A and B are shown apart, each in its own frame.
Chain A
Amino acid sequence: MKFGIVTFPGSNCDYDAYQAVVEKLGEDATFLWHKDHDLQESDVIVLPGGFSYGDYLRAGAIARFSPVMQDVIGFAKRGGPVLAICNGFQIACEAGLLPGALLRNTSLKFVCETVRLRVETTDTMFTNRYERGAVLRIPIAHGDGRYTADDATLDKLEGEGRVVFRYLGGPGDADEWWSPNGSMRSIAGIVNDAGNVLGMMPHPERAVDPLLGSEDGLGIFESMLARVTA
């Protein structure tokens, strides 16, 4: 199985995603240059974290119009799996692949810490290897992660089981919804209506080895492998 990882000017998690796929999952990965119209026959596309185009105008607003994104949008509309992480999530929202938008954190501060996420559904191609309700430890690192959408959209996401991850607890260990960035309804990750595009602010590719402090993110890659090669 081949993962195509898009490199935009300003991407900085593309190599992390590459290492996660090649070293921990044991699959193929290739970098896709933002100026090319070539997905190199990838089975899965990863939109990685970073600061594409310096976050100019709005995070993801410029990357959304880059040449490769026109192909990624076509790939996603045909049902191809897309994993959109952090800046990738912002780009996917700007591109209309996912509903809503990611605004400046309520604290107005960049947050960089390991958070706890609750797996809200295992009925997706990204989470079938987890148990429902499992709590994952995965890092976040963003300044614009406040998930925002209108109430009708949020109700629809919840009603259709498309909220995939929620932030759990606060600095303590209380098991309650929490939001490190002010996200509505504590939403950390969602899928599109067809279920083939996952957008999430936390970085699963940075949680794939005990040396990194957690390997809880590997399950997302394993889930995709299980589904795509099934």
Chain B
Amino acid sequence: MSRYRIAVHIVPRRGILDPQGKTVADALHTLGFGSVRDVHVGRHIVVNLEARDQKAAEQSTRDMCERLLANPVTEDFEIASVEAT
């Protein structure tokens, strides 16, 4: 078994009202960052785990996202990085 450090990004599904993202975007506009089109605020979760190989580690993390870490009704997730540790 090897150890992995996997980071997951969870963001509101496109099309779902994201008042936090909109508030941050408005604040960025106020600061003069006029080029900002939109902002989405989500969660960044880091999981340290043991797995047979990288593929198994990623599959396990995807299962975690589908069952608990993300809400399939309102959120999308993506594996942001995988590191062997």
B60 at the interface (CB under 8 A from A): no
- Known A-B contacts A57-B68, A61-B68, A65-B68; the reply to A101 vs B19 at CB < 8 A is no
Q: Smallest distance from the beta carbon of A9 to chain B beta carbons, Å?
A: 17
The digit string for A178-206, where 1 denotes a CB below 8 A from any CB of B, is 00001000000000000000000000000
Q: Smallest distance from the beta carbon of B76 to chain A beta carbons, Å?
A: 13
B49 at the interface (CB under 8 A from A): no
Q: Smallest distance from the beta carbon of B20 to chain A beta carbons, Å?
A: 6
How far apart sit A121 and B74, CA to CA, in the bound complex (Å)?
Answer: 27
- Structural contact, A148 and B19, CB atoms closer than 8 A: no
In the complex, what residue of chain B is closest to A64 when comparing beta carbons? B68
- Structural contact, B71 and A182, CB atoms closer than 8 A: no
Q: How many residues of B contact A (CB 8 A)?
A: 12
In the complex, what residue of chain B is closest to A149 when comparing beta carbons? B73
- Structural contact, B68 and A106, CB atoms closer than 8 A: no
Which of A58, A99, A182: most chain B CB closer than 10 A?
Answer: A58
A104: contacting residue among B19, B43, B73, CB under 8 A: B19
Residues of A within 8 A of B71 (CB): 58, 61, 94, 101
Residues B4-61 near A (CB distance < 8 A): 12, 16-17, 19-20, 23, 43
- Structural contact, A100 and B68, CB atoms closer than 8 A: no
Q: Which residues of chain B have a CB within 8 Å of any CB of chain A?
A: 12, 16-17, 19-20, 23, 43, 68-69, 71, 73-74
Q: Which residues of chain A have a CB within 8 Å of any CB of chain B?
A: 57-58, 61, 65, 93-94, 99-101, 103-108, 146, 148-149, 182
21 inter-chain pairs at a CB distance below 8 angstroms, sorted by A residue, are: A57-B43, A57-B68, A57-B69, A61-B68, A61-B71, A65-B68, A93-B73, A94-B71, A99-B73, A101-B71, A101-B73, A101-B74, A103-B16, A103-B74, A104-B19, A106-B17, A106-B19, A108-B19, A108-B20, A148-B16, A182-B17
